[in-house]
Chain A
């Protein structure tokens, strides 16, 4: 045998940069794959562009409207930035908690790195930066169009956005993510052993939110002012929390305000405060990670399933065995058990739909603003769109990757006649039923509370059923069509280019539903035309296209997968 010629090995950089070299290489492979799929790339770029430009346009109009309010505009606008950055800070805190937990503790890569001669400090730094990126990119995309719109309204050059991001946003991001990750590590080190049942956590959260909706609802008073003025009146006192000078978001808002009004001393002082706090928080995190990261990883790695929970998990299979006589029902039962035993799935669904339920249950209090039917039907339609958006997001997150994650067990179904068809049908049956029940239940609650006429209730109900079934068909069908055999991590499947495309399609479909609702609403309270009929026909066609085609193509792909692998 002729020995192979030696070849050169790519030489990576040293230190923390080594980790990012791996990320860069991995990302480059994904981008190249995307580049080879021009349609997918085109759709993603187009939709993101439309979203960002649309957000910019909306922000520009909104900011302009507020800014032009005589005597109050500039003041109100600067105060709204305090509130906005406060909300951004809270969002970052929460998203960093989950992102840092996934990146630092749950990722198999971290455990592997822990067996290499890398100090906990280096590991902590690398993972903190990575998780901060994951938790912040969407926030950055949200902030940028708003900032640009604000600059445009004030007739300031867009280049100031770079200054605002460096002086205000970047340190705010650094402080928030460093503090959040530090808190997470401290909690996992000393508090992680306090086990609270997930059902109790979810239930308590929902109860607290429902109580908040109830207590923060408007009081029964006769009002004659404009709706937006009432909203501002209600908003201003609640802004006090966001304007507390102890909050980094307040400092960032002050920097922004000072910069745009050319108060450079204020801007410099608050920037110095922000950056020095960032360095302090980073040092704190660095020290905490050096001390706690390895103990936390060890604790996270020592949680095998107890024999008791294994017994609990095994029991229902025996109980359902009597009714799981046909293959289809067996598959159905399997999916039910998978949902019930995956707390991530059901807890997210319960939290999101529970919040919507709590909100809808209190929504009748909003009708004080206006008793007009147009207002009520408009809100009911918005509620349907909102419910569909939540359902669609959860479907993309959990239904789309299901087939890929289950692909390792597909050999079981290959030996069963019609196994793949039954697998798809059972999934459509289960999740379609769940979708219809949830959406119709919430819709009934919302419509009853708002006192919507029965004809409108039936119409909205019909659209809800159609949309639920379409979303289920779309996510399961595309999941089968773009199956990633051997995938182990559902989150990775969702974050792939295919996942992004399905998300975009789902958003586009919900936008179609909203467009139809708007056409119907305009027709009911404005000019009469054939608009509603045409819009409904278009929606039906779109639903059939997006719901049925992916399922049939996905089935064909699965059947080919059967014969070729």
Chain B
């Protein structure tokens, strides 16, 4: 649910009033973006800031084109992007495959919860970088340790939300289904799983967002490609246009990922979007 979904008008608005309201919100958003861009453009154009720290939009665009066509440190931009996405998605998909079933079982069995809950609750608040030092010691500096860190970052939101979703299934649905003749397997497939899905989807969204934010941390040690590594590496040489360009690409990719997972959510739980 985005912030816009949460804002509820105090009184029911007419269709026209709602349309106008939405139009105004969009206009405000557009003005903010345009204003920020203009401020950036003017402050660099009139030399109000040191271009070493804040290069002009044109310089960032040039960096973008250069990296996309000639590459940065041996890899083209899309190769950096794919390297990063590959790591994020590998860690994330693995975490989904393990975390969701684990969370469901934890929600159903207090014994299983008693086993796994302390482990997850212990490492969950640790800063990813702190955790990463240990992972590198154990798994080396290759891709395995990076994926492992992303996996560990993705896991807690998934298990916690799946656990809560499984424990929170309305018993009245179960009762209704049983009185309609549903057996155990049918109950699980037709009632339990769909009842859990909204909670699981929320967890999947939170998890993907969080995993993505850990990306830079995962790539600062001994990577040769990846958006996070590119930004980190460029910052060491004060190549600020590449840094800012990289941040833009990271942000846009993050928005695209969130959009994609929202689409998945819609496809998986269509009844919530009517």
Are the chains A and B members of one assembly? no
Interface residues of A (CB under 8 A from B): none
Interface residues of B (CB under 8 A from A): none
